[in-house]
C-alpha cells in the first residue's frame, strides 16, 4: 500500500524537528551560543586586531606588570591561580574589591568589553577564607547523586558570584584510571558513565538555567582529553633542562581513538549538551601529541564533530610545553583551535608574537575571528555585553557567603559521600551515650588534611587553615550526650577504658603532580595509632581521609569498622552523622579498591579483576 505523500512529509518534518530539538535544548531556557552570532558580528566589526588579540589573552593578577595593562592590552580575561590572593589579604571583601577594581579597568577601554575573571572553585570557592569547602569530586562520585552534585555547584556558584567572579575552571571531568595520579580526587571516578552524569549535573549547577542569571558562573569542563589516562613514567619533565619526569601528571596516553572516545570523551559530550561555555585542553598528550596543539582533538573532534560552540582556554602556561620555541607554540596551538591562552606572566610577549604571526600570515585572520567570536558568544550569553547593566559584584550576596544553609548542603554531601567498607560485630553506629569515646589519628582534628589540595593554597596545607569549619573530632564532641566523655590523642594511646576507639588516618594535602605517588600504603604513624588503640582491647573504627583508594589491608585486619571518607571539606559533622547513625551510609565506591599497588591500574570492566573491593561496593547499617 502506498504511503500518502502527506504522511511522509509529516514524518520527515517530525524527524527534522526532533533532531533540531535534540540539538536545540541543551538546558531549558539556555539559548544556543550561536544565537548571539548577529550581536557578536556587530561587536567584532568595530574591533581592531589588537583588541581581538587582547580578548584571546588571560593574565594572572599576580603576573600583571602594571594594573593598567588590563586596559592597555585590552585583556579579555584575568585569573587567580591556586595562590592568587588579593594583595590586601584573603577575605571576602578583599576578593570582591579586587574583582571590582579589575573589571572597572576593563570597562574603561574604548569598547568597554568586560573581563571574564576565572578561579579554580573546584570544591567550593576554595581560595577564599570562610567559604564553604565541599567534598572533592571523588567523594561526590561516591554519592551517585546528580541532584546533589548540581546543588553543590549551584551553592559554589553563588559564593563565587558573591566576590563578583564569574568563571570557574570546573568541573574536572577526568576519568582517573591510575589512582597513583595526584589528581585522582579531582575526578568523579573511574567509570565514564558516572563521570558523564555528574559532570553534566555540575555544569548545570554552575551555569544555571541561563548563563545571564545573577547566581550563574561560566563553567569549564577540563582537561580535554584523557588527562586521567596517562601511562606511568611518562609524566611532564620536572625541569626543562633535566631528564627527570613526574610519574603520571601531564603524561602520555596510549589509546586508539575508539578507546579514547569510549573512556575519556563522554564527560565532554554531556557537558556540551548541558551548554558548557568553556573547555580547557589538557597538558597531557595523546599518542605523543600534546592535546593543547592537537587540531584533531580541538577542532576536528571537539568543535567539529561534537559541535562545541563555546571557547577553549589553555591550561596555565600549557602551550609552553609544545615542541618548538614560544612563537611556534603559539602558532601551533592557536591554529589547532585554542581560543584563549592562559599566559599568567608573559602576556605582553604572547600578544606581540601572536600579532606578528597574524601579520606574517602564519595565523589566519579567520582563526582569530573564530576565537574572538566564540569568546564574545559566551560574554553575550552571560549578559556581560548588555549596555547599562552593572558588572560590579553584587555585595548583597555576602550575607549568604559561608552561611549555615550553604554549610548544610555540604554536610549532606559529606554524609552521602562516605563509603562503609567494613562493619564487624555492629561496631557502627556508635551510641551518643557511651561513657567514653577515644579519638586518635593525625587527621582527626586537622581541617587542612580534611579539605585536601586546592584549599586556600594551591597545594592545601595541614593544620587549622584559619578558615571556618568543623573537624571530625569537634563534630564528634558536638554530637554526643552531655554525659559522654570524648578524649583525644594523635597517636591513639590512652584508650584504655573507653567504650570505643575512632582513628582518623590517611593523606596530607597535595595537588597535581605533587600528589603523584607510587606507594599508596598507610604511614607507620597511622598504623601505629591503630595499634595503640587496639591495645586497649576496645572496638576500633578507622576513618580514612584520602584523595584516592590506598593500600589498607593491614589496617582492615586490625579494626572492626572502616569508612572511606575521601576529602570531606569543612563540614565534619557529616562524618559524625554517619558514625552515630543519624544518616545510614549510602556511599558506593567510585573507584575499584586495589589489594596492592601492583594491581594498579585496575578498573571496572578489566578482564582480570580481583580488587579488594569492587567498583560500586558500599555497606550500610
Ligand atoms: C592548573 C591546573 C588547572 C587549573 C589551572 C589554573 O595547572 O592544571 O586545572 O584550572 O592551572 O589554576
pLDDT, tens digit, 9 for 90 and up, residues 42-52: 999 999 999 99
Say how far apart CA 272 and CA 255 lie, in whole Å: 23
Q: Is residue 489 part of a domain?
A: yes
Q: What is the mean pLDDT of the chain?
A: 95
Across the range 387-392, mean pLDDT stands at 92
Beta strands in 493-598, from DSSP E residues, in sequence order: 500-506, 540-545, 561-566
User: Phi-psi bin for 378: left (phi > 0), alpha (psi -120 to 50), beta?
Assistant: alpha
CB 419 within 8 A of CB 142: yes
pLDDT in tens, 482-502: 999 999 999 999 999 999 999
Q: Is residue 246 part of a domain?
A: no
Question: Residue 31's pLDDT is what?
Answer: 67
pLDDT in tens, 466-480: 788 999 999 999 999
Of 15-29, 174-188, 254-268, 540-554, the one with minimum mean pLDDT is 15-29
Phi/psi for 17 (5° steps) reads -60, -45
pLDDT in tens, 89-119: 999 999 999 999 999 999 999 999 999 999 9
Give 345: exposed, middle or buried? Use CB within 10 Å, 0-12, 13-18, 19+. middle
Q: Is 316 in the pocket of ligand 1 (CB under 6 A)?
A: yes
| Residue of 22, 78, 381, 412 whose CA lies nearest to 208 | 381
| Residue of 512, 459, 458 whose CA lies nearest to 247 | 512
Diameter over CA atoms, the chain: 89
Which of 82, 167, 514 for mutating ligand 1's site (highest number of atoms within 8 Å of CB)?
82
pLDDT at residue 21 greater than cutoff 50? no
pLDDT in tens, 560-578: 999 999 999 999 999 999 9
The SS3 of residue 268 is: helix
First-to-final CA distance of the chain: 63
315 is catalytic: yes
Q: Is residue 444 part of a domain?
A: yes
Q: Is residue 590 part of a domain?
A: yes
CATH number at residue 492: 3.40.50.1700
Q: Which of 158, 315, 321, 329 is catalytic?
A: 315
Residue nearest to atom 3 of ligand 1 (CA): 315
Q: Is residue 504 part of a domain?
A: yes
Question: Residue 30's pLDDT is what?
Answer: 58
Question: Residue 311's pLDDT is what?
Answer: 98
Say how far apart CA 530 and CA 508 lie, in whole Å: 18
Q: Is 515 in the pocket of ligand 1 (CB under 6 A)?
A: no
Say how far apart CA 333 and CA 54 lie, in whole Å: 16
Question: Residue 240's pLDDT is what?
Answer: 84
512 is catalytic: yes
pLDDT at residue 25 greater than cutoff 70? no
Which of 126, 219, 315, 319 for mutating ligand 1's site (highest number of atoms within 8 Å of CB)?
315
Say how far apart CA 132 and CA 406 lie, in whole Å: 7
Say how far apart CA 69 and CA 73 lie, in whole Å: 5
Of 3-7, 336-340, 418-422, the one with minimum mean pLDDT is 3-7
Residue nearest to atom 10 of ligand 1 (CA): 169
**Ligand 1 center to residue 607 CA distance, Å?**
34
pLDDT at residue 465 greater than cutoff 50? yes
| Nearest atom of ligand 1 to the alpha carbon of 283 | 8
Across the range 413-430, mean pLDDT stands at 98
Cell, residue 265: 570523551
Q: Is residue 470 part of a domain?
A: yes
State percent of the chain over pLDDT 70: 95
Q: Which residue's entry shows cell 576554595?
A: 126
**Ligand 1 center to residue 317 CA distance, Å?**
9
| Nearest atom of ligand 1 to the alpha carbon of 223 | 9
What's the total number of domains in the chain?
1
pTM: 0.95
Phi/psi for 564 (5° steps) reads -90, 115
pLDDT in tens, 143-155: 999 999 999 999 9
How far is residue 244 from each of residues 42, 234, 241, 519, measured CA to CA in Å?
51, 10, 9, 18
Cell, residue 63: 603576573
Domain that holds residue 539: 404-599
Across the range 111-139, mean pLDDT stands at 98
Across the range 201-216, mean pLDDT stands at 97
| Residue of 548, 484, 15, 1 whose CA lies nearest to 248 | 548
Say how far apart CA 194 and CA 238 lie, in whole Å: 32
Q: Is residue 561 part of a domain?
A: yes
Q: Nearest 5°: CA angle at 248, between 242 and 254?
A: 105
Say how far apart CA 215 and CA 157 lie, in whole Å: 6
More confident residue, 28 or 49: 49
Across the range 532-556, mean pLDDT stands at 98
Q: Is residue 391 part of a domain?
A: no
pLDDT at residue 349 greater than cutoff 70? yes
Phi/psi for 191 (5° steps) reads -105, 120
Amino acid at each position: 500500500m502506498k504511503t500518502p505523500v502527506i504522511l511522509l512529509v509529516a514524518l520527515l518534518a517530525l524527524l527534522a524537528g526532533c533532531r533540531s530539538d535534540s540539538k536545540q535544548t541543551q538546558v531549558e531556557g539556555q539559548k544556543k551560543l550561536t544565537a548571539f552570532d548577529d550581536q557578536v558580528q556587530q561587536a567584532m566589526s568595530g574591533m581592531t586586531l589588537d583588541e581581538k588579540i587582547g580578548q584571546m589573552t588571560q593574565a594572572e593578577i599576580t603576573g600583571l606588570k602594571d594594573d593598567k595593562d588590563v586596559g592597555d592590552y585590552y585583556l579579555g580575561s584575568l585569573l587567580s591561580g591556586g595562590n592568587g590572593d588579593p594583595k590586601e589579604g584573603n577575605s571576602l571583601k578583599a576578593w570582591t574589591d579586587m574583582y571590582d577594581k579589575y573589571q572597572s579597568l576593563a570597562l574603561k577601554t574604548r569598547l568597554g568589553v568586560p573581563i571574564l575573571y576565572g578561579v579554580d572553585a573546584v570544591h567550593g570557592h576554595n581560595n577564599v577564607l570562610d567559604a564553604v569547602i565541599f567534598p572533592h569530586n571523588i567523594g561526590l562520585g561516591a554519592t551517585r547523586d546528580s541532584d546533589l552534585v548540581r546543588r553543590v555547584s549551584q551553592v559554589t556558584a553563588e559564593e563565587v558570584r558573591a566576590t563578583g567572579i564569574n568563571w570557574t575552571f570546573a568541573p574536572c571531568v577526568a576519568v582517573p584510571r591510575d589512582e597513583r595520579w595526584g589528581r585522582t580526587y579531582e575526578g568523579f571516578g573511574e567509570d565514564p558513565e558516572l563521570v558523564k552524569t555528574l559532570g553534566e549535573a555540575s555544569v548545570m549547577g554552575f551555569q544555571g538555567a541561563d548563563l545571564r542569571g545573577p547566581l550563574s558562573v561560566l563553567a569549564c569542563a577540563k582537561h580535554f582529553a584523557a588527562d586521567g589516562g596517562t601511562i606511568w613514567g611518562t609524566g611532564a619533565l620536572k625541569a626543562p633542562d633535566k631528564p627527570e619526569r613526574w610519574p603520571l601528571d601531564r603524561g602520555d596516553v596510549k589509546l586508539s581513538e575508539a578507546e579514547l572516545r569510549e573512556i575519556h570523551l563522554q564527560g565532554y559530550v554531556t557537558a556540551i549538551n548541558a551548554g558548557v561555555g568553556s573547555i580547557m585542553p589538557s597538558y597531557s598528550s595523546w599518542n605523543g601529541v600534546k592535546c593543547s596543539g592537537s587540531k584533531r582533538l580541538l577542532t576536528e573532534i571537539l568543535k567539529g564533530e561534537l559541535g562545541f560552540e563555546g571557547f577553549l582556554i589553555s591550561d596555565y602556561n600549557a602551550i609552553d610545553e609544545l615542541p618548538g620555541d614560544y612563537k611556534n607554540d603559539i602558532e601551533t596551538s592557536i591554529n589547532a583551535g585554542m581560543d584563549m591562552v592562559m599566559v599568567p606572566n608573559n602576556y605582553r610577549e604572547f600578544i606581540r608574537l601572536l600579532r606578528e604571526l597574524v601579520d606574517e600570515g602564519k595565523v589566519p585572520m579567520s582563526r582569530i575571528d573564530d576565537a574572538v567570536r566564540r569568546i564574545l558568544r559566551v560574554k553575550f550569553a552571560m549578559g556581560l555585553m548588555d549596555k547599562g547593566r552593572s558588572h560590579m559584584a553584587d555585595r548583597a550576596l555576602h550575607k549568604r557567603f559561608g552561611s549555615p544553609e550553604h554549610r548544610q548542603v555540604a554536610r549532606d554531601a559529606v554524609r552521602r559521600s562516605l563509603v562503609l567498607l567494613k562493619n564487624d560485630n555492629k561496631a557502627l553506629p556508635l551510641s551518643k551515650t557511651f561513657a567514653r569515646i577515644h579519638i586518635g589519628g593525625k587527621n582527626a582534628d586537622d581541617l587542612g588534611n580534611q579539605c585536601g589540595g586546592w584549599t586556600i593554597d594551591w597545594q592545601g596545607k595541614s593544620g587549622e587553615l584559619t578558615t571556618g569549619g568543623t573537624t571530625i573530632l569537634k563534630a564528634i564532641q558536638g554530637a554526643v550526650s552531655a554525659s559522654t566523655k570524648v578524649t583525644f590523642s594523635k597517636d591513639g594511646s590512652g584508650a584504655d577504658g573507653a567504650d570505643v576507639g575512632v582513628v582518623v588516618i590517611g593523606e596530607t594535602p597535595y595537588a597535581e603532580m605533587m600528589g603523584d605517588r607510587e606507594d599508596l600504603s598507610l604511614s607507620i604513624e597511622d598504623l601505629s595509632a591503630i595499634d595503640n588503640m587496639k591495645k586497649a582491647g576496645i572496638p576500633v573504627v578507622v576513618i580514612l581521609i584520602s584523595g584516592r583508594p590506598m593500600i589498607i589491608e593491614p589496617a582492615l585486619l586490625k579494626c572492626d569498622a572502616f569508612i572511606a571518607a575521601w576529602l570531606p571539606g569543612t563540614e565534619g559533622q557529616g562524618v559524625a552523622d554517619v558514625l552515630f547513625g543519624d544518616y545510614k551510609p549510602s556511599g558506593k565506591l567510585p573507584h575499584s579498591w586495589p589489594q596492592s599497588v601492583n594491581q594498579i591500574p585496575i578498573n571496572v570492566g578489566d578482564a582480570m579483576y580481583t580488587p579488594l573491593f569492587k567498583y560500586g561496593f558500599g555497606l550500610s547499617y
